[in-house]
A and B are shown apart, each in its own frame.
Chain A
Amino acid sequence: MLLVLLVVVVLNFLMLHLAPGDIADTIAQTMGGADEQDMAELRKQYGLDQPFFIQLFNYVVRVALLDFGHSHFYNLPVFDLIMERFPATLLLVFSAQILSLFVGILLGVYAAQNPNGLSSLFVNMFSLFGYAAPVFWTGILLLIAFSLHIPIFPVSGMRDITIESGNFFVHFFDVLRHLFLPMITLASIFFAYYSRLCRASMLEVLGADFVRTAKAKGLSKKDVLLKHALKNSLSPVITFAGLSFSAVVSGAILVETVYSWPGLGTLAFNSIISRDTPVLLGILIFSTLMVTVGNLLTDLTLKALDPRIKI
C-alpha cells in the first residue's frame, strides 16, 4: 500500500511537470506580468531552479513528512486546505457508496426472485436509467426539481450558516439534509451496476446445490434467500464495489461542483483553473489514499464474508 502511494506521488509529480509552464508563470500572470529577473527570483524561491531529480526527491521527502507545500492561490498550507475539505468528500463518498450498495443489493435480491417477472423488468429499467444518465445531468435535474418545485432539500452547500443553535443534533440533521441530494445523485450510477450484478449473481447462486440443500432442510423461503443465497452472492458485488471506488471518488468531483459541496472536488476544480500545482498534487495523493483504503476495506470485507479467502 505504501509502495502504491510512493509510485502515485512520483507519477503525479512527473505528470504535472510534463505540462508546459510552471508556478512562476502562473504567479507572474496573476501579478500582471514580470520581467526576467523577477521570474528567476520566483523560480529560486519555489526551488524550480534545482535539477529535476532533486526537486522530485525534495518533494517526496516533504510528502513523507506530511508537508504538501504552500498554496499560492489560497495562501495557505496545502495540508490545512485539504484537511478542511477532506471530511466533506469522505462523507459524500462513503455515504453514496453505502447507499448504492444497500439499494443495489436490495433491488438485485428482489429482482432475482422472479427473473422473468414484472418486478425484474422494473429493476432492469431502473438500472438502465442509472447507467445511461450522466451524473451531472441527473444532478442538474434533481437540482431544478428540488429548488423550483419541491423545495424540501437544500440544493447547495453543506451547512446552513443561519443556524445559531449549539446543539450537536441540530447541526447533524442540517448536514444530513444538505447531504441528501448529492448523495442520491452520486449513488444513482452505482446502484445501477450493483443491482444488475447482484441480480445476476443471486440467480447463479439460487441454482446452486447448497441452496437445494437449504430447501431440503425445510427452511423458509426467507431464510433460504437471505441467509444461504445472499451471503454467497455478495462477493462479486463487494469486489466490484471496491474496484469502482475510484470511479465514485472521481464522480464525487462532478457532483460536488454541481451542488457546491465544499469538498475536495470543488477545491480540485479551482486549483486546476488557477494552476495551483501543490494543491492539485495534494488532492491527488489524498484521493489515492482514499482509493487504497477503500480497496483494503473491500479485501477485509471479502475476507470476513468468505473463510476461504486468505490475505
Chain B
Amino acid sequence: MRASARRRYWRGRVQRVLVAAGASFVLLGLFAIPVYLAAAVAASRAPVGVDWAHLGLLFAGSLRATACAIAVALPLGFATAMFSAHFCAPRLRAWLKPALEMLEAVPTVILGLVAATSFAPWLKSHAATLLALLVALPALLLAAGFAFGRPSRHDGWLPLSVLPLLCAIVAFGLWLSSRAQAPWIVPASPWNATLVGLALGVAALPLVFSVAEDALFLVPREQTQAAFALGATRWQALTTVVLPAAGAGLFAAALLGIARCFGETMIVLMASGNTAIGGFDPLIGLRSLGADIALGMPDAAPASAVWRDLLVATLALLASTVLLSLAAGFVRARLRRRLHAGAAA
C-alpha cells in the first residue's frame, strides 16, 4: 500500500514536469522567434540602410489586399453568423456551422489557383458586371423580400428557398453581360487587388463567421425570449438585444479576420501580380509583405542588405498579426466575462 502510494507520488512528479516542459517550449518559441529575428537584423552589417520606401509599399500592398478581402468577408461572414445564431432552424445550424468551419481547412493554394486561372481572365473583361451585380443583388433581394417575404414558421430554413433566387439573379446577370460586349471598367492587369480580395475574402470567411457566430450565440436565451415576449420581431430582437450585447465579439471577429488576411501569403502570391505599386485603386496589382518574403528569401544571400530587409519585413508582419490577434483575444475574453456576469446576475 505504501509502496504504491510512493510510486504514484514519483510518477506525479515526473508527469508534472513533462507537461510543464511542453508548455514552456511553446512559450519559448513565442519569445524566441521575434528575438531571433531582431538579433539577426542587428547582426547584419550591410553597408546600406533599410529600404523603408519599399517596405512602406509592401505594407500598403498588404493593407490594400486586406481591405478588399475584408469588404468581402465581413458582410458575408456577419450575415451568415447572424442567420446561423439567431434565425436558423437548429437542424440546419447543426450542419451549416461545421460545413462553413470546414472551409477553413481548404488549403489556400487551391483558392489561389482558382482565382489565378479561372477567375482572373473573367474578371479582366467583366469587372463592370461584378460591380453591377454587387448593386443589383441587394436591390433585387430587398424587392423579393418585400413581395414574397411573408414571415412563416419555416424561416429557419429560408436560405434553401432564397438560394435558387440568388442563383437565378446571378445567372441572369452573367447572361446579360455575355450579350453586352461593352466593358466600361477594364482592370490594368488581370491580377489585381479585387481578385485578391475575392479569393482572400473567401479564405477569411470561415474564421470571421465562426468567431462572430460564437459571440452572437453566447447572448443568453432569456434575453431574446424577453424581447420576443414584449412583441419584438426576430429582426428587432437581433438589432436591439443580440447585436448590442455581442457587438464586441463582432469587433473581435473583424480584428481576427484582418489579421488572417494581413498574414496570408499563398493567395496573394498567386493572385496579386506581385508588383510593388502604391495607391488605393482596387483594380491594380500589389505586392504584400508575405509574398515579398516568400519570393525574395530563396535568392537573398545571408547577412546581405536584401536579406536584412526581408527580416525587417518579417518582423513587421509578425508584429502586426500578433498585435491584432492579442487585441481580438482581449476583446473576446472581456465579452465572455460580461455576458456571463449578465446571465448570472
A, B bound? no
List chain A positions with a Cβ less than 8 A from chain B: none
List chain B positions with a Cβ less than 8 A from chain A: none
